[in-house]
Amino acid sequence: MKKTEFLLKLKLQKGIGYVKLLTIAQKMDANLEISIEEIEQMDLPEKLIQACLCTFKDPDLERLKKQIYQQSEVISFFDDEYPEKLRQMYRPPLVLFARGDLSLLQKEIITIVGSRYPTNYSKNVINRLVPNLLEQNYVIASGLAKGVDALAHQAVLNNEGRTIAVVGNGLNYSYPKQNCDLQKEITQKGLLISEYLPDTPPRPFRFPERNRILAGLSTGVIVTEAKEKSGSLITASIALQENRDIYAVPGPITSQLSAGPNQLIEAGATPIVDFKFNCGSI
């Protein structure tokens, strides 16, 4: 059995969360295939060995696995399609579900994040910055939330570029509902990815988990407008921990939505002072 299929079946198994899945994956060899013999020889607690053997043989899990493969592409930490930048990060997603162009994961990626309730300032900045990013062959990633995320995805599509949406729910959900058409267009012209099983509903705690993927995928993260305490700053913080470049759009000190970017700049982020973006040398 291919390791990706096995990891998917483990993910479907009740009682196997991320920590146990990571523990098992770390004991696998570099081969693409896994056998019952290899499972029996892995240096794991007996309970985990038995859980792996049950997973390997379970016909119900095999049926569910086939259903998921009909709904989406599935790649794992062991596949060539898996992005190298994610492999390098702390707590990488072990299995990704995707719809669209997987080759985008091998491109240079810039992530754009910001407030769900931005002013026209973000829209104007994004609409002028995105064309320059696309000219340099960057793929733009964001989280498909309302606000800055949607503005970034739409600006890329309007300029015939390629965008990656990383969502905090399964691919069978469209969240928020107002982005349903945008999600469909991204699937057709870009890439939609998630680490959650396709029928997983959106929940608040999943969005910070999603943010680590946005940070890990990218060469750099751009924050347009964000309050002092926001998900965008969580993404930037994770990106900093993963040695990614952080960029922020400065704004007036009277604006609450500029408090986040201004704070990042004060802490050492590179301010975006014009639209001639050049990662690493603004």
**How high is the pLDDT of residue 276?**
79
What value does the mean pLDDT of the chain take? 94
**Does an H or E element contain 129, and which?**
helix 120-135
Distance CA 246, CA 257 (A): 17
Contacts of 206 (CB under 8 A, 6+ apart): 168, 169, 196, 200
Distance CA 197, CA 66 (A): 13
Q: What is the pLDDT of residues 72-131, one digit of tens each?
A: 999 999 999 999 999 999 899 999 999 999 999 999 999 999 999 999 999 999 999 999
**How high is the pLDDT of residue 280?**
57
Co-location of 34 and 121 in the same domain:
no
- Is 244 inside a domain boundary? yes
Q: What is the CATH number of the domain that holds 229?
A: 3.40.50.450
Number of domains present in the structure of the chain = 2
Question: What is the number of alpha carbons within 13 Å of residue 25 lying toward its C-beta?
Answer: 27
Q: What is the pLDDT of residues 199-235, one digit of tens each?
A: 999 998 899 999 999 999 999 999 999 999 888 999 9
Main-chain phi, psi angles of 146, to 5 degrees: -70, 165
Pairing of strands 220-223, 191-194: unpaired
Co-location of 128 and 61 in the same domain:
no
Helix count and strand count (H, E) for the chain: 12, 9
**How high is the pLDDT of residue 282?**
42
For residue 18, CA distances in Å to 12, 49, 101, 211 come to: 11, 16, 26, 16
What is the model's pTM? 0.94
- The residue among 117, 108, 216 whose CA lies nearest residue 161 is 108
Domain span holding position 254: 102-271
Co-location of 203 and 130 in the same domain:
yes
Co-location of 119 and 242 in the same domain:
yes
